[in-house]
Chains A and B, each alone.
Chain A
Amino acid sequence: MRSILWRKFKDRSALLVITVLAFLPALPLFHILYGIFRLGLPAFSWSFFTHLPTPPGEPNGGVGNAIVGTLMLSMLASALAIPVGILSGVYLSEYARGRFGEVVRVAADVLQGVPSIVLGIVGYLWLVKPMGHFSALSGAVALSLMMLPVIVRSTEEILRMLPYTLREASLSLGVNYWRTVIKVLIPTGLVGITTGILVALSRIMGETAPLLFTAFGNPFWNFNPLQPVDALPLTVFKYAISPYQDWIRQAWGASAVLTLMVLGLNLISRILARRLSGDGK
């Protein structure tokens, strides 16, 4: 018989080792957040948010154009991905039976697995090359390809969770199926669908790789979707690998803005998700 003491000892050691190893990953997170806010917040100022970038060494450089660019890219990408994503999600949950539904699901999963840099290449080949120049639109297309599968799958999942009786109730009132979907199902699942969209949005806001050769970057104000724009992650990248102290300081500043945006979206989607699970009961 194995000694009970030895087995107990192993049990305790396993608990100890696993607990320690489980908490260690929290260290880099706190260190990253600490770095972002300790080095990033001091860079915040009025001019930082409203000015254009300046050459290294010149004071009062800002990331105003990058903030505008990030918002523009996010909105364009959402405008492309949300309608398609929701309706495909509706298709999967309401209509898809058999083979074709599976094919669509697999397509969504495959799309989700495509590395973002590859989507950048695709955006380049589809839009930049034919148009002859970089543009916000091409960046938004690449980003929308990243959003799409997330929205499709989350919409499908949310709609599937709705009870069948809800559909019956509406249909028995003589309401068309499509009206039932638009007026009953989607509003009922709205919180969940929105959560999915926010998750997708928080993912693409920080993406750099698909923008490198699509949106490209632009040191000036630009509100035209057909022209190149700057974006916060592009600024972080460009400044971070530069040798200038001033720019590096601004890289941390831009990271802080980006982190606040992304974590903010994350937080909102979490609160929504919590409300959702509360409502579900």
Chain B
Amino acid sequence: MGNRETIVDPRGPIIFDIRNLWAYYGEKPAVKGVTCKIPEKRVTAVMGPSGCGKTTFIRCLNRLHELSPGARVEGEIFLRGKNILEIDPVVVRRRVGMVFQKPNPFPTMTIYDNVLAGYKLLGIKLRREEADRLVEEALRKAALWDEVKDSLHKRGTYLSGGQQQRLCIARALAVKPEVLLMDEPTSALDPKSTAKIEELVVELKKSVTIVIVTHNIAQAGRVSDYAAFFYLGELVEFGPTSQLFTVPRDKRTEEFLKGKFG
């Protein structure tokens, strides 16, 4: 439904090919006919005013949307050429991880167990050395290792908000996903923690594709390579961030970037 000329296909390898995606809560559509391609090993920012369907959109990408009561999805989402709507969601979610708006470490588990939750919950047994290695690797990637290496067996809920969010990132990274979805990961954090996570996002794109929802235009400018602009459930514009920010092709994008609504 979005104007074709405003949706620019990215260059380089594509990981998600989304075609005419509709997502509903009951009878009410929250995402309306979105078509776009997400580039591999890049950071794609999803922007738009509150309630425009950003969260709903990325929750479709790992089939979490279906967990909401009465929720439904139509269209096609190809992940490396296979439609994930036809794959078991349990498998999709291993390949497409998620970091949520509010840090949500498991309060019943230690930091160590939190990182390995993707294995423990599924009943996957790891050898001791392998588990240790996975934990260290994931925590290092999430830039948390140095802060928690001496308290791995304390509960994750004792950490600060920013540390908890990085723990959640480590938890998602530990299962080695191909894509990491992040839903406003810094909106509940202080500026210092936010800066840390932004650095982390830029660092992580070497190994994993990132789709990040953000309210913060400056943040999108700092971290993303591509940007998508949503308005009332429609994808209005999609393209390289630099292009979208300097010469927006749609009037609504321009107004949003100028802070007209928000």
Say if the two chains contact directly (CB < 8 Å): yes
Footprint of B on A, CB under 8 Å?
Answer: 1-2, 4, 7-8
Q: Looking at the complex, which one of A1, A2, A8 makes contact with B88 (CB distance below 8 Å)?
A: A8
Per the 8 Å Cβ criterion, residues 74-111 of B in contact with A are 88, 90-91
B90 touches A4 (CB 8 A): yes
Name 12 A/B residue pairs within 8 A (Cβ), A-sorted.
A1-B124, A2-B122, A2-B123, A2-B124, A4-B88, A4-B90, A4-B91, A7-B90, A7-B122, A7-B123, A8-B88, A8-B90
In the complex, chain A residues whose CB is within 8 Å of the CB of B91: 4
In the complex, chain B residues whose CB is within 8 Å of the CB of A7: 90, 122-123
Per the 8 Å Cβ criterion, residues 114-166 of B in contact with A are 122-124
In the complex, chain A residues whose CB is within 8 Å of the CB of B124: 1-2
In the complex, chain A residues whose CB is within 8 Å of the CB of B122: 2, 7
Q: What's the Cα separation between A1 and B94 when bound, in Å?
A: 12
Interface size class of B (residues with CB under 8 A): under 10
Grouping DSSP codes into helix (H, G, I), strand (E, B) and loop, the A interface class, with mixed when no group exceeds half, is helix
Write the chain B residue with the least CB distance to A1. Answer: B124
> Which 7 A-B residue pairs are closest in the complex by CB-CB distance?
A2-B124, A2-B123, A2-B122, A4-B91, A7-B122, A1-B124, A4-B90
Q: What's the Cα separation between A2 and B90 when bound, in Å?
A: 13
In the complex, chain B residues whose CB is within 8 Å of the CB of A4: 88, 90-91
Contacts A4-B88, A4-B90, A7-B90 known; list 9 others, CB within 8 Å: A1-B124, A2-B122, A2-B123, A2-B124, A4-B91, A7-B122, A7-B123, A8-B88, A8-B90
Q: What's the Cα separation between A2 and B94 when bound, in Å?
A: 13
Q: Chain A's nearest CB lies how many Å from the CB of B223?
A: 32
Q: What's the Cα separation between A227 and B98 when bound, in Å?
A: 72
In the complex, chain B residues whose CB is within 8 Å of the CB of A1: 124
In the complex, chain B residues whose CB is within 8 Å of the CB of A8: 88, 90
Write the chain A residue with the least CB distance to B88. Answer: A4
In the complex, chain A residues whose CB is within 8 Å of the CB of B90: 4, 7-8
In the complex, chain A residues whose CB is within 8 Å of the CB of B123: 2, 7
Q: Chain A's nearest CB lies how many Å from the CB of B145?
A: 26
Q: Chain B's nearest CB lies how many Å from the CB of A4?
A: 6
Q: What's the Cα separation between A4 and B87 when bound, in Å?
A: 12
Write the chain A residue with the least CB distance to B125. Answer: A2
Q: Chain A's nearest CB lies how many Å from the CB of B63?
A: 15
Q: Chain A's nearest CB lies how many Å from the CB of B202?
A: 31
In the complex, chain A residues whose CB is within 8 Å of the CB of B88: 4, 8
Q: What's the Cα separation between A8 and B90 when bound, in Å?
A: 9
Write the chain A residue with the least CB distance to B91. Answer: A4
Q: Chain A's nearest CB lies how many Å from the CB of B58?
A: 24
Q: What's the Cα separation between A4 and B89 when bound, in Å?
A: 11
Q: What's the Cα separation between A8 and B124 when bound, in Å?
A: 14
Q: What's the Cα separation between A7 and B88 when bound, in Å?
A: 12
Write the chain B residue with the least CB distance to A6. Answer: B123
